[in-house]
Structure 1
């Protein structure tokens, strides 16, 4: 299962790495891809949105919900 979420505040590779690491720490089996240009995080693995939100916010970024 693949889900895409908006994450606000990512501006560089370090930001993308922080978000990716936070999600991977919360869900070790997830495959995470960050697209800085669109501010989108794509996750393969069927991770609940609430868990993604908690990880993103713990990393210091704003969770924008599901991406269109």
Structure 2
């Protein structure tokens, strides 16, 4: 099977999936993960898994 990658479509997808999120610094990790999950889904239409969410929250909190 042969296919071609459309560079513009790839840039558009990357732009859609790259978003600025507000990560709560207070409260539990689980609450922060829920908040980030809702924000990301609202902005991109994509639902992140718990491992990705945990990584985002911990990185933002400096853990």
Superposition TM-score, scaled by structure 2 size: 0.35
Q: Which has the larger radius of gyration?
A: 2
Superposition TM-score, scaled by structure 1 size: 0.33
For CA contacts below 8 A with separation 6 or more, give which structure has more relative contact order.
1
* Structure with more of its chain in strand, by fraction: 1
* Structure with more of its chain in helix, by fraction: 2
